[in-house]
Structure 1
Amino acid sequence: MQVRKRYLDNIRWITQVFVVLYHVFYMYNGEGVQGGLGKITGLPVQHYDIVLYAIYPWLMMVLFIVSGIASRLYLERHADKEFFRSRTTKLLVPVTIGLFVFQFLQGYVNMALGDAFTSMQQLPPVAKYLIMCLSGIGVLWYLQILWVFSVLLLLVRKIEKDRLWRLGARTNIVALLALGAVVWASAQVLNTPVIIVYRFGLYGVLFFLGYFVFSHDEVMAAVKKYFPLFLLLAAGLGVAFCVLYFGQNFAAEPVNKSPLFVLYGWF
């Protein structure tokens, strides 16, 4: 158990390094992905933006799978009530306080850079404040969605009684490959129309796959055994994705629903 915890910790910190790297390029991207300062060079094409295309598809997928695994490990040693209390204290409370006390400042900066206040002059101060909070939500959306999935997990556990979890131990290489179709299908549904990071279908399936499938030692052993195959698939799909979609908004439809986007992220 301790070895696996270190393994998950390693995945977390490595992924967090990529999160920072991604946002450095994201702030100054010239590909039409809004939220940062935008293009600041005189280059006709910022070829280094390819880093964004190489990282974005799999970044959050990894985090939600790891979150599902971590939830299983926690619930093996704690009661459901402790899990709910822990997730509420660590996720919901910081999100609520952060959103309404601090994140409106980021929202103000984002809206000022986008010259959004010129079209909001007639709005009352309270409405402007709420819009600034939503505009500045930043990375807090991840914590919000994770809390929702954690609550849903407790409801699912009461129904499935570990039957589905035990079935997940039988997942083999063929099933792992086939699950790519399930992940792609989930990316097509439950996506919010305005704030595009809220992808409840895709991230929900990944979270529950982390809990029911990847929390098993047998499955992780299969992943390790066939890692060269997965790496080859990911490399091929990644190159194809970058070549085909470079210059398009990779974070929005239809790119973020495309088979290349989803399967590259999955493998």
Structure 2
Amino acid sequence: MSSASARQTDLDWIRILMTLVVVLYHCSMFFNPQPWHVKNNELDNGFIFAYTNLAVNGMMPIFFAVSGISAYYSLQKRDSKGFLKERLLRLGVPLAFGVFVLSPPQVYMERSSHHQFAGSLLDFLPHYFDGLYLNIGGQGNFAFAGLHLWYLFFLLLFSLLTAPLFVRTKRARAEKPFGIRHFALMLVSLFVLAALVNDAGNLGGWGILYYLTIYICGFYFFSKEPFQAFVRRSGLATGIGAASSTLIFILWMRHGIPASGTALSALFVLDRVVSCWCGMLFVFFLADRYLKQTRGPALSYGMEASMPIYVMHQPVIVTIGYLIYALRWPVPAKLLFLLAAVSLVISVLYHFVIRRNNVLRVLFGMKAVRRRLKKNSESRS
């Protein structure tokens, strides 16, 4: 297996596994005390809350890092026109589908469960374009970024902004060793962005410039062998750093976030950045060591399914949550039911419906497949 092929293999596994993390994260949002579209009638401040904070601190930066690496490999085979065409098809189409088809019912269920709207879904639809949806519990309804599909929205935007620069520099090689000095410089840069640019909102816990920086680093540094060599050398250190800083972060969250502008706030942000940065490198380390040579049907199936699952999982979770949020079940029982129901619905929809229909495949971010026509025994010779 070539080094490029092996590199793509571990990135594919990271995408698959992080998609599952996102699904579990949005299931946990139904139960934790933080704002979300539909909330259970009983909330959890323990294990579920801890998992939510663990996932939100690292999952989206990993997605943007992998996207930056993938952009590097994609541009080795395409010019800017081909790259942007592929981005518009694979990101823009499911984003538009999410904005105009998947988001209206979710906004309706949020407004209904938060007692912001009284009436049926049909009554609500004419109001979907009343103002921009900017945050959970706000007044605007039009979800221009597709709610949970904001990742596709910003990845498409980043692709449009950076493609001209990436194309001009795609052949550049960064063969100088990647060491602790570069690690520290990136860590400080991310800390400054996280501390000074407070635009995280509902964007997975971090700001737009934070994600853009990681995306650009993915293209110029994370895709190169010197960075991969550093990841292999520093696996133990980044694992210890990730575990210790993440534990501090979770315990800190349980006791409340420090007031903005204080010294404690700066320490809190620094700990979050260390947790995110070390955690991301440790994930790359584990994927490089254990997943690089792991290929087969499971990888092929999971890689094709990851985008449709990402696109449809939250509407499924919100819908099932909306149907059960008022039921007086204990949290563990309701959590198990939600996980089982979401897994079943997503699996059935993907395997038996979406992947078998070319129109749906394109709408959910997959490639259309050409089906061979069966030859008729009476066909012309």
Which category of TM-score, normalised to the shorter sequence, fits these structures?
0.7 to 0.9
- Cα distance between partner residues in 1 of 2:244 and 2:187: 15
Q: CA deviation at 1:175?
A: 1.0
2:272 corresponds to which of 255, 261, 266: 261
Distance 1:156 1:106, change over 3 A: same
Are the equivalent residues in 2 in contact too, given 1:27–1:37 (CA < 8 A)?
A: yes
Structure 1: 5+ residue runs without aligned partners? none
CA shift digits 1:117-174 (9 cap, x unpaired): 37xx9x96741697333299332100000001111221323565655xx347542233
Aligned to 1:175: 182
Q: What TM-score, normalized by structure 1, do the two folds share?
A: 0.84
Q: CA deviation at 1:196?
A: 4.6
- Equivalent residues in 2 for 1:47-196, closer than 5 Å: 47-117=47-117, 126-127=129-130, 131-134=140-143, 137-157=146-166, 160=169, 162-163=171-172, 166-167=173-174, 169-188=176-195, 191-192=198-199, 195-196=202-203
Are the equivalent residues in 1 in contact too, given 2:31–2:48 (CA < 8 A)?
A: no
- Cα distance between partner residues in 1 of 2:100 and 2:174: 42
Distance 1:201 1:8, change over 3 A: same
Aligned to 1:35: 36
Q: State the superposition RMSD in angstroms.
A: 3.2
Structure 1 or 2, whichever has the larger Rg, is: 2
- Cα distance between partner residues in 2 of 1:236 and 1:21: 23
Are the equivalent residues in 1 in contact too, given 2:187–2:274 (CA < 8 A)?
A: yes
Q: What TM-score, normalized by structure 2, do the two folds share?
A: 0.60
Are the equivalent residues in 1 in contact too, given 2:132–2:144 (CA < 8 A)?
A: no
- Cα distance between partner residues in 2 of 1:232 and 1:49: 22
Residue 116 of structure 1 aligns to a residue in which SS?
coil
- Cα distance between partner residues in 2 of 1:154 and 1:125: 33
Residue 153 of structure 1 aligns to a residue in which SS?
helix
- Cα distance between partner residues in 1 of 2:52 and 2:152: 22
Structure 2: 5+ residue runs without aligned partners? 119-123, 134-139, 279-381
Q: CA deviation at 1:176?
A: 1.5
Aligned to 1:202: 210
Are the equivalent residues in 1 in contact too, given 2:64–2:215 (CA < 8 A)?
A: yes
Q: Count matched residues.
A: 258
- Cα distance between partner residues in 2 of 1:75 and 1:86: 11
Are the equivalent residues in 1 in contact too, given 2:57–2:276 (CA < 8 A)?
A: yes
- Cα distance between partner residues in 2 of 1:79 and 1:159: 10
- Cα distance between partner residues in 2 of 1:155 and 1:136: 24
Q: CA deviation at 1:104?
A: 1.0
Percent identity of the aligned residues? 21
For 1:244, give the aligned amino acid: W
Are the equivalent residues in 2 in contact too, given 1:111–1:135 (CA < 8 A)?
A: no
Judge which range, 144-153 or 47-56, deviates more. Answer: 47-56
Distance 1:63 1:153, change over 3 A: same
Q: CA deviation at 1:249?
A: 7.0
> Does 2:229 align with 1:221?
yes
- Cα distance between partner residues in 1 of 2:57 and 2:192: 15
